[in-house]
Each structure stands twice: as C-alpha cells, then as structure tokens.
Amino acid sequence: DQVHQRVQLIGQHNSAWQGWFSSVGIAPFPVRYEELAVDPVGITHRILDFLGLELPPGRELVVQHQRLADELTTQWIARYQAEMLRS
C-alpha cells in the first residue's frame, strides 16, 4: 500500500509540474530515469542541445555515479505491477 501511495504521489507531482509548465508557456524536455540510467552522456548531450548550450572546448561528460537498481529492484517492480493488475 505504501509503494502504491508513493506511485500515486509521484503521478500527482508530475501532473502538477505539467500544469505549471503549461500555465507559463514552457515546453519541458522530458527525460525518463530509465533512459538516463542507460545513456547518461547521450541524454545529457540531448539536454544541452535542447537548451542551446555546448560544452566548453576540451571538456567532456564523465559519469560519476552507478545505478543502484539490481535484480531485487526488478522483482519488487514485477510484484507491484502484478498486485496492481489484481486490484
């Protein structure tokens, strides 16, 4: 139940952000966590392009983190999704 409550809260927050962006005429650049985790350098370059920015000469993007998700995370996601289908 707590996981479901958090998922619902995230959905509410995302909707509120979308409403705010629309109200001020901003078209945000959407980034899904899963895409960022797979290709952080590529996604960051796309964000920079979207913003009309370039890296300074001689600079490169270096990933300094590691995704914490593992098989246990995959199992929890599958369990949550299965429980949501049953309800």
Separation between Cα atoms, residue 75 and residue 17, nearest integer Å: 30
pLDDT single digits (tens) 11-51: 999 999 999 999 999 999 999 988 998 999 999 999 999 99
CB 84 within 8 A of CB 5: no
pLDDT of 65: 84
pLDDT of 59: 95
Residue 45 CB contacts under 8 Å (≥ 6 apart), including other chains: 61
Is pLDDT at 1 greater than 90 in this prediction? no
Distances (CA, A) of 76 to 36, 65, 83: 21, 22, 11
For 29, phi then psi, to 5°, come to -95, 105
pLDDT of 11: 96
pTM higher than 0.95 for the full model? no
pLDDT of 40: 94
